[in-house]
Amino acid sequence: MGKSIALFGTSADPPTIGHKKILEELSRIYTFTISYVSNNPNKKHKEDITIRSHLLKTLIEDLDNPKILFNQRVSSQWAVESIKKCKEIYDFNNLDFVIGSDLIKDILYWKNFDKIIKEVSFLIILREGYPVESNTLKMLETYKVKFKISTIQIPDISSSKFRLNFNYSTLPKSLIDIVKKNNLYESTKLVE
């Protein structure tokens, strides 16, 4: 297939307007963006994956963009498995795996890193406070990692910041009522 595909997995706990912006921008670049929620083995998640995937699915449905697909069936805590499932379901080989610049140094330690770098090219989205330094670029080149650094500008917002300050303006509008009505993330609030 000659289509350009972005695979955007996220632990999204919860999805923020930063995730929304990434999805919107990817849809301008790629033929299709396939997104899902996973459990990151290096993080402790506040809400269960079923809740987080419901929130991301709601966000994607609200975007109403046929170029952005939610497919929880490709989810795995291991990128190599998500890539394999995605390629089986969609039957194509041209795939960019989207990661934030905060994860670049971690990819060397991912399960089956040697297989991943043969299967995909990485699209690196710059995050505030996580610049791509020259020694990191050299490291990627040493391991023959195919990558592009995205020009997508995202707000300095993260799921963890939301859990700390409960600034609902950092959530997509379609998720605010769901989060409030279901008392999601409530137990992280500090009670004095």
**Per-residue confidence at 186, pLDDT binned at 50, 70, 90?**
confident
* Residue 192 predicted with pLDDT over 80: no
| pLDDT tens track for 143-185 | 999 999 999 999 999 999 999 999 999 999 999 999 999 999 9
Q: Is 191 helix (H, G, I), strand (E, B) or coil?
A: coil
What pLDDT score was predicted for residue 190?
Answer: 43
| pLDDT tens track for 105-122 | 899 999 999 999 999 999
- What burial class does residue 57 get, using C-beta atoms within 10 Å of its C-beta: 0-12 exposed, 13-18 middle, 19+ buried? middle
Q: In what order do the strands lie in the sheet with 68-70?
A: 68-70, 32-37, 5-10, 95-100, 121-125, 147-149
CATH code at position 107 = 3.40.50.620
Domain membership of residue 34 as a residue range: 5-188
- How high is the mean pLDDT of the chain? 93
Q: How far apart are CA 125 and CA 60, in angstroms?
A: 19
What pLDDT score was predicted for residue 2?
Answer: 60
* Residue 187 predicted with pLDDT over 90: no
Q: What angle do CA 151, 40, 129 make, to 5 degrees?
A: 40
Q: Count CB neighbours of 83 within 10 A.
A: 21
Q: How far apart are CA 145 and CA 67, in angstroms?
A: 27
What pLDDT score was predicted for residue 136?
Answer: 92
| pLDDT tens track for 91-102 | 777 899 999 999
What pLDDT score was predicted for residue 1?
Answer: 43
* Residue 6 predicted with pLDDT over 60: yes
* Residue 188 predicted with pLDDT over 60: no
Number of domains in the chain: 1
**Per-residue confidence at 3, pLDDT binned at 50, 70, 90?**
confident
Instruction: Give every CB contact of residue 91 below 8 A, 6+ residues apart in sequence.
Output: 1
